[in-house]
Amino acid sequence: MKMASAWSTKPDSKLAAQDAWEMLSQKLQAVPQMMFIHSSCAYDNRAVVAELRFLAPDVPLHGGTSCLGVMTEAGFHTADGFGLGLLGIVDPFGHYDVGIADSSDDPKAAATSALDQALGHAGRPGEVPVAVIMTSPPGPEELVIHAIEAHVGAKVPIIGGTVADNDMSGQWRQFANDTVSRQAISIAVLFPSCDIGHAFHSGYEPTIHRGKATRAEGRVLFEVDSRPAAQVYNEWTGGLIDDLPPEGGSMVPMATFTPIGSPVGQVGGIPYYRLSYPVEVLGNQAILLYTDIQPDSEVVLMRGTPESLATRTGRVAAAAVDAAPFGAGEVKGALVLFCSGCMLAVQDRMQESVAALNAALDGAPFLCAFTLGEQGCFIGGENRHGNLMAAVLAFGPVRAER
């Protein structure tokens, strides 16, 4: 079992793919059984993927676009909006593969189709994978999670990221093998020969402000405690959105440090939360979120700081290792998903994030993508879609029974 990361910030799409592949090949000294790729939308990603498929035609490839660039153990990689990264896995006794399906009409059906493809290609139809990696466009994440759980059960950890672009203009893409799409569900199934560890955290703290979502539908929070949601949120935040016009407006990026939390479970009597990013005040003083919100659920104002966000990835990686049957010194590599909104808020401190991840993973290779939404499995086993969060999947040594 061996893993390595590679990266490039060359602006030419084909040359960047060649550059990263050459770096990965030199580190691995073998053809990988699986390759993850995340790259910024500044590239012609069809050309990037086509070149990687030419260089490694039989290697399953999975990923999507990442805001501005990527992060590896070597640093934060972006130059004028260009940056791509690879994570390769050499695991001759493991089985990995991917599937992808257009989600324009029916995201749940697309997720099921992509999952069936991946399981069939991996030669493990009917078997339950150790983990599932999902990549989707913004919007159907909860539907995709439900579809995956309906197929393989709720105990399989789901890790993933909602693809991002550099400026919220809709240039995001999903990748799987030869396919690059703007509106598809890409899924990878993992049957590694090694043990894994995973964690999903917010890094934000709950405040004293909380209430009930007395009126909510889909991703719109209309009322909290029977009052207009925007009015309540503004009071809770001490007038954060005072300057928005009566007809509403964008809350991005002003709400990055004060999202809405929903309790998911408890550990030792201490609750843990899924975060929802308040992205817009609507004309009726409702708030549009980037996650679904359940009617009558508890909503809590959460609070973060630049310091907590800059080092959060390290804490999540440490939690992933703590949950695994191996120590930090045995980590072979990791896949990390980190909210692009958080990254943009602390962009000048990303070397702190690199240092925190390197400390938690003992210098093991990792690839981190910056996403518009994060999917992960909480410590209680709940697979969820959230915002402003971080998810880590760590790979350890080959299992002893092998």
Of the candidates 175, 118, 171, 172, the one whose C-alpha atom is nearest the C-alpha of residue 147 is 118
Token pair for 166? 């550099």
Average pLDDT, the chain: 96
Cα-Cα-Cα-Cα dihedral sign, residues 73, 97, 2, 46: negative
- Give the residue-averaged pLDDT of 64-76: 98
Token pair for 234? 């503004």
pLDDT reported for residue 125 = 77
In the structure, what pLDDT confidence band is assigned to residue 124 with cuts at 50, 70 and 90?
Answer: confident
The answer to whether residue 215 scores a pLDDT higher than 70 is yes
- Give the residue-averaged pLDDT of 395-402: 80
In the structure, what pLDDT confidence band is assigned to residue 126 with cuts at 50, 70 and 90?
Answer: confident
pLDDT reported for residue 246 = 86
Question: What whole-number distance in Å separates Cα of residue 320 and Cα of residue 324?
Answer: 6
DSSP 297-323: -EEEEEE--HHHHHHHHHHHHHHHHHT
pLDDT reported for residue 202 = 87
DSSP 240-309: TTTTS-TT-EE-TTTTTTS-EEEEEEEETTEEEEEEE-EEEE-TTS-EEESS---TT-EEEEEE--HHHH
- Give the residue-averaged pLDDT of 53-76: 98
pLDDT tens digit sequence for 361-387: 999 999 999 999 999 999 999 999 999
Question: What whole-number distance in Å separates Cα of residue 216 and Cα of residue 181?
Answer: 32
- Give the residue-averaged pLDDT of 233-241: 98
In the structure, what pLDDT confidence band is assigned to residue 71 with cuts at 50, 70 and 90?
Answer: very high
pLDDT reported for residue 401 = 59
Residues 161, 371 contacting (CB under 8 angstroms)? yes
Token pair for 94? 């493991």
Residues 393, 131 contacting (CB under 8 angstroms)? yes
pLDDT tens digit sequence for 321-339: 999 999 999 999 999 999 9
| Strand 270-276, strand 179-181: pairing | unpaired
pLDDT reported for residue 399 = 81
* CB atoms closer than 10 angstroms to residue 79: 14
Of the candidates 76, 72, 32, 73, the one whose C-alpha atom is nearest the C-alpha of residue 55 is 32
